[in-house]
Chains A and B, each alone.
Chain A
């Protein structure tokens, strides 16, 4: 008995020793993986983190939806009125602070900002040749994402060169729009000063992109003189020109043409599915815009989203080559085909106008091959040269030091290319003509709603638009809650 007790105690003693001596046993590190904290050791690390910051540009396809659907150009469409319900709400000006699409805009842009800030937070960790360019690109991307947020939501928290922990979030507040814009201008000027006119690779931002966005940011603040000067730099020093055939603008085969200023790059090589749209490397908008249950030539089948209105279709004057390049009149198209009776399609339960977005639409030969359904290799043309010309025209017409000659020159460059007569107007008629031209030239590209708001025309043309409210979208309620309730909501939401 005694011996046994002793043995037992001995065993237990040995075991406890063994136990306490083994604390290291639990300190295991994951194999072959990098942590957020042991990174930025080589130039390649910076390069790879920059790619991660670019990734969020691919979320801009949602601009093509919201910029059109919220405006007078398009209806939401889709399988039913609950299919991407947030878009239907914006279509009807019934949106409020609970809206999945708006939340995506908010979150994706902040994800881009966090990834750019992750690089900039470590800008002094090591030195290497070419670091200034990487930092300039990261700075540009941050400025771009902020410009999107300001455009949608007005005042937004401004976070610079750091990542936020959960406890810091509740200490943030919404930074006034003017301060955010000031930082965007500063960042874009800095990036434009470092980057070259030519991109080192297709898809990388360059000086022209920085200046074009800077001009646009000035224009959105009604700083017309600075906008005009900045656009002038792009027009004079940049190597851009309008392509002659406007109908070839959005073809994959012509990507990188002389009108390209800022393309969001997409590929058809990876495919993908509906589960995570921000994870796609292809452009989801054309697949969504495709004709429902379509079986016929030229186009591919899709989800009948973002359907242009008759109002837009009828806005084009006779002979304007842009009408059919912008809006697909499906019945007319089918009638022209050799065997129209064999062509099938179905209207969606979310609305039907008979028209489809012909700029970003699923076409045969332009699909993401691995999935052949959702994704498309078609780049989203965030800024193209015609846009720059029209923005320059507007800035020149509205500047304190107005230059109507230049405004007319740029406006008519765009009109001539569209095979319509040049305009000879001045004063407010000229400004109206430029705005009208913007609608026709840029329709179906996601700019319309923001142009209407910027120019104060929204309440005149958008049904149920409430001035003093709908100029801004509501901050997603859940984001207000997650900030600890510190942020105020936009007016009247």
Chain B
């Protein structure tokens, strides 16, 4: 840094200049230190990266910031080998599925997320502003076992930004403003094509053709009306610094994103304030405080299911205008259950407001040079308010979504007590749920110098965790004037303020843990570490409440051996680990048989509440255990290259399952469920490779390239006794099941018929050695898997695995290039080998269709791809690989071009940094998948992955941003 004091005085006041010098020199010191001895947070302590025995992956805050994302998980995609992130919804505030080393359970696969030592659930990630993050460290292997019963899915450790001792305050203001659009619209039939094809379809079914005139032009493109250009804005302000004894980092941010579908009806706003403050109270005592407040405001529309806005958009037919001649929304009378998506958006009012306080008070006592005692109290308090307003609305005759009984918006009547009828009218639902976590942790860290070159580092501690939740809510009918202005339960006109569907709940959850870790280090070359954690959890039955989780790991830094002469390989470390961790993610009191089933009958024409057993009890219920082995190599090659390689085998046993049980147990009644039991095993194994290249070219140019790839094989190895498979997500309507959990196959694989083409002629059908009941020319030709000469439609004998939602390979590439004042960064992500089920096509005669149907079968020799169109009985709609598509994709997730002002100009402006940038997210996606977005998560649970109901796509964003430091 070439800031000289004299030059400074000419331009700036002395004070401002000092400030700059201080922070600049501090920055230099830090950068250097980091390179030599990078430290990673490993849970209740830190380790030198060079000596760490586990498999981990780290990401620095600066890289995260360049991604311009609203949630931390979005930034993780493609950045770390073995960490896959798939988006569950592209809507603002929508979540992702973070999977570390694959799916290992039938239940909750979310990793444990620990922010500054405070546990977050993945839903709570919205509260965290990615710009506040200093670093992310993902523990992928058994060394995560320091977190015991909660570590089986891996642990993500996040540190937020902290100040520095002896640093003058540095202020930072940054932000961006962007616009989002859908990256893709589906190629649907236009009105002319639609009319021609529907005429053909009806004629083939011997029905009168619906369109006398097919020259209807392009008609309505519903997607053009539904998709909008939506703004996205972020602003951050922060100050960091420190005195000789204290350091601080405080900040605030504002984020506002509207949806490309629904604009403010599907939006997310976040206001957040943060204080990190550390102070040395004496030579021996240090106090660290973290406080975070977040206010989130999310609105949502029905998504990713039958009846969602995009499902309706795809199936709405182009011969209907959006509005009729009087300006009213049209009814789409010809289709069942499908409503005008614009009317639907207009009439959806749905908010969730979350106010969240997260914090930590930590007192660290250096008892002696070698012994530190840390006591800390973490808290996490969230107030979640939900409100849904349902106005009186009429979507057309027979639509299930109608709340009025006719187009005049007359309300229906409800009997709230014998003989007391009220108008149902507009209704509002309000609910408030409160969740509070308290976590007290106390641990000692001890370092003992055994000999001149060997040390023993130990950690011993306890953790007491307590979570309480309570909630209350209800629905009020008959809101005055059918108006949002009165959408409050207090405004309802029912006698006595009567509420409906009132609920309340209270729960408690507790975890009591002791943990011990010891590490023997000889000359920085041989490191051997052991972890033991004992957890007691209130979630499990009295017969098995405590679990013990051991891990051993070791590393050998070969390059430090005297025989190592390959100077090109500066550092080479071999490491391995094996251990056991647990997964406790089930409902509280799941081991008990509660009377919360549904036992309701109608006596005297009044709905009468009774009782029934809910979930059957299982006092032996315990956690899942994951046994994981890891073998890895870390290397530095020459000045610029780094490489890390991992091979792992991960076996999860005693899966927490709620499998079908015999009907005789009576658990098939309404509101009754089978007990949760421990049964079933899952196997994951994989390879991970991370390569890094970093080079400074002369003074003003640098290049960093990070590449990672992972290969994963997932297989179910056992299901509960008597259960051949667990059925998963539905296909179409009417109870077809598309996915399964079954021994020998990946979790949630697709199971259905295999298509061999299209029957071209009756002669071909007659001559076929395989009899396919009901087949006519133009129908899909299924393959006789069991070779019995018949396609069996009434059992599963001719179905097989026709796809899996789990990618075989994932690739990530991050590029950072700087040349003088310009910088360019790009992130690419690719997932290869997974499939997606096209499940957004409603099989109704009048529903619109994708334009691939233009290439339908029209006669012998016309096509072997697509079946005929007909209203006649046919089996072309059974779940087959005709509906399964290759979901592989390559996406340019982020591209950013920045310009930083030169130091000379900065001085003029009194800034230390001033940078502007132009960024785009999801600019390019290469895929053969026909749907909106191939980066599709789950519609619920691991068996709902890869099922596309008209997924809310991630937006393509173009934004302009700035960053000032002074």
Q: Which A residues form the contact surface with B (CB < 8 A)?
A: 1, 3-5, 7-8, 11-12, 15-16, 18-19, 22-23, 25-28, 30-37, 39, 45, 47-58, 78-86, 89, 94-100, 104, 106-108, 110-115, 117-118, 157, 159, 163-166, 169-170, 172, 201-204, 265-267, 269-270, 273, 276, 278-279, 281, 290, 292-295, 300-303, 344, 346-347, 349-351, 369-374, 476, 478-479, 481-485
B794 close to A (CB within 8 Å): yes
What are 8 sample pairs from A and B whose C-beta atoms fall under 8 A apart?
Answer: A35-B595, A49-B611, A52-B597, A55-B598, A82-B736, A83-B733, A346-B336, A369-B424
Which residues of chain B have C-beta atoms less than 8 A from A110's C-beta? 663-664, 666, 668
Query: Lowest 10 CB-CB distances: which A-B pairs, in order?
Result: A114-B666, A52-B599, A51-B610, A301-B398, A4-B368, A111-B669, A107-B668, A83-B734, A369-B412, A52-B612
Given contacts A118-B613, A301-B397, A484-B722, contact A22 B607 (CB under 8 A): no
- B424, B510, B597, B602: which has the most chain A beta carbons within 10 Å? B602
B446 close to A (CB within 8 Å): yes
Which residues of chain B have C-beta atoms less than 8 A from A290's C-beta? 398
Which residues of chain A have C-beta atoms less than 8 A from B538's C-beta? 26-28
B601 close to A (CB within 8 Å): yes
B610 touches A482 (CB 8 A): no
B367 touches A4 (CB 8 A): yes
B877 touches A278 (CB 8 A): no
How far is A467 from B405 in the complex, measured between Cα atoms in Å? 49
How far is A3 from B367 in the complex, measured between Cα atoms in Å? 9
Which residues of chain A have C-beta atoms less than 8 A from B601's C-beta? 51-52, 54-55, 57-58, 203, 265, 281
B594 touches A279 (CB 8 A): no
- B442, B464, B663: which has the most chain A beta carbons within 10 Å? B663
Name the one of A166, A300, A349 contacting B843, with C-beta atoms under 8 angstroms: A349
Name the one of B335, B369, B604, B734 contacting A80, with C-beta atoms under 8 angstroms: B734
A115 touches B666 (CB 8 A): yes
Which residues of chain A have C-beta atoms less than 8 A from B796's C-beta? 98
Given contacts A50-B610, A98-B795, contact A23 B536 (CB under 8 A): yes
Given contacts A54-B610, A349-B845, contact A279 B598 (CB under 8 A): yes
B512 touches A19 (CB 8 A): yes
B373 touches A8 (CB 8 A): yes
B674 CB, min distance to chain A CBs, angstroms: 9
B763 close to A (CB within 8 Å): no
A3 touches B368 (CB 8 A): yes
B664 touches A164 (CB 8 A): yes
Given contacts A169-B664, A483-B664, contact A8 B446 (CB under 8 A): yes
B565 close to A (CB within 8 Å): no
B159 CB, min distance to chain A CBs, angstroms: 26
Main secondary structure of the interface of B (DSSP, over half): loop
How far is A372 from B337 in the complex, measured between Cα atoms in Å? 12
How far is A485 from B603 in the complex, measured between Cα atoms in Å? 40
B462 touches A293 (CB 8 A): no
Which residues of chain A have C-beta atoms less than 8 A from B512's C-beta? 19, 22, 25-26
B819 close to A (CB within 8 Å): no
A269 touches B414 (CB 8 A): yes
Name the one of B369, B662, B734 contacting A482, with C-beta atoms under 8 angstroms: B662
B608 touches A481 (CB 8 A): no
A79 touches B843 (CB 8 A): yes
B871 touches A481 (CB 8 A): no
Minimal Cβ-Cβ distance residue in B for A199 = B603
B144 close to A (CB within 8 Å): no
Query: Interface stretch among B123-131, B221-229, B585-593, B937-945?
Result: B585-593
B762 close to A (CB within 8 Å): no
How far is A96 from B368 in the complex, measured between Cα atoms in Å? 76
Minimal Cβ-Cβ distance residue in B for A4 = B368
A81 touches B873 (CB 8 A): yes
Which residues of chain B have C-beta atoms less than 8 A from A78's C-beta? 734
Minimal Cβ-Cβ distance residue in A for B504 = A32
A7 touches B514 (CB 8 A): no
How far is A98 from B736 in the complex, measured between Cα atoms in Å? 12
B611 touches A485 (CB 8 A): no
A15 touches B462 (CB 8 A): yes
Which residues of chain A have C-beta atoms less than 8 A from B821's C-beta? none
- B412, B446, B609: which has the most chain A beta carbons within 10 Å? B412
Given contacts A28-B510, A100-B735, contact A347 B672 (CB under 8 A): no
How far is A270 from B603 in the complex, measured between Cα atoms in Å? 14
Which residues of chain B have C-beta atoms less than 8 A from A267's C-beta? 602, 605-607
B928 close to A (CB within 8 Å): no
Minimal Cβ-Cβ distance residue in A for B331 = A295
B400 close to A (CB within 8 Å): yes
B512-552 with Cβ < 8 A to chain A: 512, 514, 536-538, 542, 545
B481 close to A (CB within 8 Å): no
Which residues of chain A have C-beta atoms less than 8 A from B732's C-beta? 80, 82-83
A482 touches B671 (CB 8 A): no
How far is A354 from B424 in the complex, measured between Cα atoms in Å? 36
Name the one of B537, B610, B773 contacting A52, with C-beta atoms under 8 angstroms: B610
Which residues of chain B have C-beta atoms less than 8 A from A273's C-beta? 400
Given contacts A8-B446, A23-B536, A369-B405, contact A346 B846 (CB under 8 A): yes
